[in-house]
Each structure stands twice: as C-alpha cells, then as structure tokens.
Structure 1
Amino acid sequence: MTTDPRFPIGKFQAPDPLSKAEIQQLIQDIKAFPVQVKAEVFRLGAAGLEKPYRKGGWTGKQVIHHCADSHFNSFIRFKLALTEDTPTIKPYHEDLWAKQIDYQLPIDSSLAILEGLHIRWVALLENLNEMDLRKTFIHPEMKKEIRLDFTIALYSWHCRHHLGHLRMISA
C-alpha cells in the first residue's frame, strides 16, 4: 500500500521474467475484474460514483468509463500484435477522453463492455503460447517494443490499481 492516493497499490513494476504460473495469476486478476467492479459499484451506490477518489481525481463513474476504454484499447493492441508483425499502436489521451460527454452517462454501458470484453480478452490470453507471449507492438510515445507478457502484467496491475481507486471513495 502507498500513501500516494494516485497509486493506491503502488506504481507499476514490471516483473521480469514471468513464469507460466505468474502469467496465469495475472490473467486471473484480469478475469476477476468485472465482478470486482460490480461489487464496488454496489458498495458505493449512485452517490459514491459521483465522488472523486482524491481531490482533483476522477469520480468513480469516470474510473469505470476509463477502464472500459483502456481495456478495449489493450484488447485491440493484443489482436494487432498477434496478427501483424510488430505493429505500431495508436496511443490516446485518456485525460481528454475522460472529459467527453459519454463519461457523463450512467455506467451500465461500460460495465457491460467490461463484462463482455473481459470474457473475450481472457479467452485470448488463456490460449497464448510462449511464442505469442513474446510478440510485441511498438508504443510510439514510449519509443520501444512492448511484449505481450509485459502487457498482461501491466493490465493486471491496471485492474487492481483502479479497484483501489474505487475502494478509496468510501474509505
């Protein structure tokens, strides 16, 4: 646990190398996320979703919409890396996405996206072989190739990171 409310579980630290058992646990974190988010939504209630997790931070509603957007982008990056030779992905400005009108909508659509997307994403992840895990995409802002096994670790952290934000709202 960290004292910085921006990083309730600490900053991401890339494990290297990752064992097969560690990858399977990371995939389970991703698999469990939609159910965990729904439990937090139930606990927070409508009023809690309108509160920011910290001063100047996103509201619970924005966090959930962000997760749907971010995870959808990650899923597409996996598909690109699996079907193209080291594709360059398109980054996006998540802070600007969070200011768009759709982030003011009720969270039902984003919860549905997370539920359906994670079913597909986990099916994909659970069937990656060693060669697939080493496939990469180029992130133009980071100016380097990103491996899919690293990305699984990053999104396991991302799920737990934003669950931490939701849990901070009513703490």
Structure 2
Amino acid sequence: MENMDIEQLRYPIGQMALPEKITREQIDEWISVLEHLPIRLERLVVNLTEEQLEKPYRPDGWTVRQVVHHIADSHHHSYTRFKWALTEDRPLIKAYEEKDWSMLFDAQIGPIALSLDYIKALHGKLVYMLKGLSDLDLERVYLHPDGNVPVTVAQNIGKYAWHGSHHIAHIENLLSREGWL
C-alpha cells in the first residue's frame, strides 16, 4: 500500500464529476449502476472473515465493515432526499455527519448482513421509483445546507451511482492488494 498514491487510495475511480448537461442515457446508466450495486457489494464481502472485515481500505480509512454500513446509511439519506425533492418545493435537506455515524457501535461491530439486506430492499424501492421519473421530475431540486446549493434529482442519481461505485472500488482494491479476491 505504501507505493500507492494516497489520492488513488481515497478516490480509486476519481473524484465525482457530473456533466453539465445530463442525458437520459446517462440517467439510465446510473440507474443500472444503482440497481446492480447490492449484488456487487454482497459478492465482494459476504464471505469475508471477521478479521478481514476489520481491515481498513486505506491508512486512516474506514474498515470494510464500516464502509458497508456507511453505504446503507448514505443511500438511506439519498432516498429521503429524492422523496423530498419530488414532493416539496426546493426543500432544504438535513446533512448528516457521516464520520460520526461510522463511529457508532452499529457501524463498528454490527453484522454486515443487516446493511446488505437493507441495501437490497432500499435499492429495490429506489430503482423502481427512479425508473418511473419524468423529465420534469429529474429537474426538481433540493437545497443542500452547505451553501444552499441546489441539487437536481438527475444530479443526485449521478452522485449516488458514483458514491456506490467509489466505495465498491475501495473494497475491491483492498481485496486485490491483500490477495483476497
């Protein structure tokens, strides 16, 4: 791991960058990423030992267990943000302290099966909803409290497709470096 650049360890698929104009094809591709995330994640982690689950994906990074629980927590927030944007006029969402959440006992020692099952159910509902959105729905906005920055539903789809892929790459890279694949 010493030979790997810290930026590559933190952002193995690069930092999130959304296109200025988002096409329906990109939306469909991102929805497909979200649809397949639960099975991709489960295949990576379901057979890991307790010791392997406690391995951080990078120095000063979360353990594999914490990453799995973080994906569940983060995508839960995303689902709620979608719902707010679709049902309210430019709602100001509530942010959450993901680092603090990762330090709670459920993220540190909880069975990953809880989050894997939750991610499957959550993504089932999320993908079903996203596939039915109209072009007008995709333009709806929520406001992020960090500067009241508007985020469209379309942008949020891209953000969370990237987010899931980003954390899967963290785990894949660790498993590869450790020879666990």
Q: Letter of the 1:136 partner, please give it.
A: V
Give the Å deviation of 1:43.
5.5
List runs of 5+ in structure 1 lacking aligned partners: none
- How far 1:16 moved relative to its partner? 2.0
Deviation at 1:154, TM superposition (A): 0.6
Deviates more, 1:110-119 or 1:141-150: 141-150
The percent of aligned pairs where both chains have the same amino acid is 37
Unmatched segments (≥5 aa) in structure 2: 177-181
Number of residue pairs matched by the alignment: 170
Q: Counterparts of 2:56 and 2:136 in 1: how far apart (Å)? A: 41
Are 2:92 and 2:148, in contact at CA under 8 Å, matched by a contact in 1?
A: no
Q: 1:54 to 1:123 in 2, by over 3 A?
A: same
User: Helix, strand or coil for the counterpart of 1:137?
Assistant: strand
1:91 partner amino acid: A
CA deviation string 1:43-66 (max 9, x = no partner): 544332110000110000000000
Q: 1:168 & 1:49 partners in 2: Cα distance?
A: 14
What SS does the aligned partner of 2:8 have? Answer: coil
Q: Give yes or no for the alignment of 1:55 onto 2:59.
A: yes
Contact 2:76–2:122, Cα closer than 8 Å, also in 1: yes
RMSD: 1.2
Q: TM-score, with normalisation over the residues of structure 2?
A: 0.90
* 3-state SS of paired residue (2:46): helix
The equivalent of 2:179 in structure 1 is none
For residues 6-50 of structure 1, the C-alpha deviation after alignment (integer angstroms, 9 at most, x for no partner) is: 101000001121111111010000000000001101354433211
Determine if contact 1:15/1:153 at 8 Å carries over to the other structure.
no
**Could you tell me how far apart the structure 2 residues matched to 1:68 and 1:78 are?**
15
Of 128, 131, 151, which aligns to 1:126?
Answer: 131
Describe the SS at the equivalent of 2:121.
helix
Pairing 1:27–2:38 present: no
Task: Tell me the TM-score normalized by structure 1.
Answer: 0.95
Task: Say whether residues 1:88 and 2:97 are aligned partners.
Answer: no
From 140, 151, 154, give the equivalent of 1:149.
154
Aligned twin of 1:78: 82
